[in-house]
Chain A
Amino acid sequence: MQGVLQQVFSGLASGGIFASLALALVLIYNAMGLVNFAQGEMAMFATFIAVTLMDRGLNYWIAFPVTLVIAFAGGVAIQRIVIRPVERAPVLTLVIVTLGLTALINGLAGFIWGYLPRAFPSPFPSRTISVLGAYVSYQDLGVIAVCGVVLLVIYLLLQRTTVGLTMRAAAHNPEASRLMGVRVSWMLALGWGLASAVGAVSGIMVAPILFLEPNMMQTVIIYAFAAAVLGGIESPVGAVVGGLIVGVTVNLAGAYVPYVGGDLELAVALAIIVAVLVLKPNGLFGRPSVRRV
Chain B
Amino acid sequence: MRQIGPRFAAIAAIFVTLAACGGSAAPTVATDVGISSTEILLGNTNALSGPAAAYGTISNASNAYYTYVNGQGGINGRKITYKILDDGYVPANTVTLTKQLVEQDKVFAIFGGLGTQDQTSVRDYMNAQKVPQIFVYTGATTWGLDYSKYSYTIGWIPSYQAESHLYAQDILKNHASAQIGVLYQNDDYGQDYLKGLKDGLGSSASLIKDSESYDVTAASVGSQVATLKAKGVDTLFLFSTPKFTVQALVAVSKLNWDSVNIYVNSVSNPKTTIGAAKTAGAALKNVTSVAYLKDPTDPQWANDAGMKLYKTIIANCSTCDANNGFNISGVAAAWTLVDVLKKAGSNLTRRNVMDIAATQLSETDNPFVLPGVVVKTSSTDHFPISQMQEETWNGAGWTLQGTLIDTRGTIK
Contacts and interface: CB of A to CB of B under 8 A. Distances in A.
Interface of A: 2-3, 6-7, 10-11, 13-14, 17-18, 106-107, 110, 114-122, 126, 128, 130, 135, 137, 208-211, 213-215, 218-220, 222-223, 250-251, 254-255, 261-266
Contacts of A120: 280
A18 B279 CA distance: 23
Contacts of A122: 280
A223 B219 contact: yes
A213 B54 contact: yes
25 contacts: A2-B230, A6-B229, A6-B230, A7-B226, A10-B223, A114-B57, A116-B54, A116-B242, A117-B276, A126-B254, A209-B220, A210-B219, A210-B247, A211-B276, A215-B53, A218-B51, A222-B217, A223-B219, A250-B223, A255-B223, A255-B226, A262-B215, A262-B224, A263-B214, A263-B218
B16 interface: no
Given A255-B227, A263-B215, 18 more contacts: A3-B230, A7-B226, A13-B222, A18-B219, A106-B49, A116-B273, A117-B242, A117-B276, A119-B278, A126-B254, A210-B220, A211-B246, A215-B50, A255-B224, A261-B213, A262-B218, A262-B223, A264-B215
Contacts of A213: 54, 243
Contacts of A119: 275-280
Contact of A117 (B219, B227, B243): B243
User: Main secondary structure on chain A at its contact with chain B?
Assistant: helix
Interface residues of B, number: 43
A115 B220 contact: no
B56 interface: yes
At the interface, is chain B mostly helix, strand, loop or mixed?
helix
B318 interface: no
A126 to B, nearest CB: 3
A6 B255 contact: yes
A130 B272 CA distance: 31
A120 B281 CA distance: 11
A219 B217 contact: yes
Nearest to B221: A262
Nearest to B273: A117
A110 B276 contact: no
Interface string B248-290: 0010011110000000000000001101111111000000000
Contacts of B56: 115
A262 B212 contact: yes
Nearest to B48: A110
Contacts of B272: 116, 118
Nearest to B226: A6
Interface string B25-58: 0000000000000000000000001110110110
Contacts of A222: 217
B223 A263 contact: no
Contacts of A262: 186, 212-215, 218, 221, 223-224, 227
Nearest to A255: B227
A113 to B, nearest CB: 11
B218 A266 contact: yes
Nearest to B272: A116
A2 B256 CA distance: 14
Nearest to B278: A119
A120 B276 CA distance: 8
B227 A7 contact: yes
Contacts of B226: 3, 6-7, 10, 255
A259 to B, nearest CB: 12
Nearest to A222: B217
Interface of B: 49-51, 53-54, 56-57, 186, 212-215, 217-224, 226-227, 229-230, 242-243, 246-247, 250, 253-256, 272-273, 275-281, 324
B252 to A, nearest CB: 11
A250 B215 CA distance: 13
Contact of B227 (A3, A128, A265, A266): A3
A222 B217 CA distance: 10
Nearest to A253: B223
Contact of B222 (A10, A121, A215, A223): A10
B54 A135 contact: no
Contacts of B281: 126
Contacts of A106: 49
Contacts of A117: 54, 242-243, 246, 273, 276
A268 to B, nearest CB: 11
Nearest to A117: B243
Given A6-B230, A115-B56, A14 B222 contact: yes
A110 to B, nearest CB: 6
Nearest to B275: A119
B378 to A, nearest CB: 37
Contacts of B230: 2-3, 6
A6 B226 CA distance: 7
Nearest to A118: B276
Contacts of A6: 226, 229-230, 255
Nearest to A3: B230
A134 B178 CA distance: 24
Contacts of B256: 128, 130, 135
B270 to A, nearest CB: 8
Contacts of A135: 254-256
Given A128-B255, A211-B247, A115 B227 contact: no
Contacts of A126: 250, 253-254, 280-281
A2 B230 CA distance: 8
A265 B53 contact: no
A223 B250 CA distance: 22
Contacts of B242: 116-117
A264 B213 CA distance: 9
Nearest to A224: B219
A122 B49 CA distance: 27
Given A110-B49, A261-B213, A263-B214, A219 B254 contact: no
Contacts of A10: 222-223, 226
A254 B57 CA distance: 35
Contacts of A137: 254
Given A116-B324, A126-B280, A135-B255, A219 B227 contact: no
Contacts of A7: 223, 226-227
B254 to A, nearest CB: 5
Nearest to A265: B218
Nearest to A111: B49
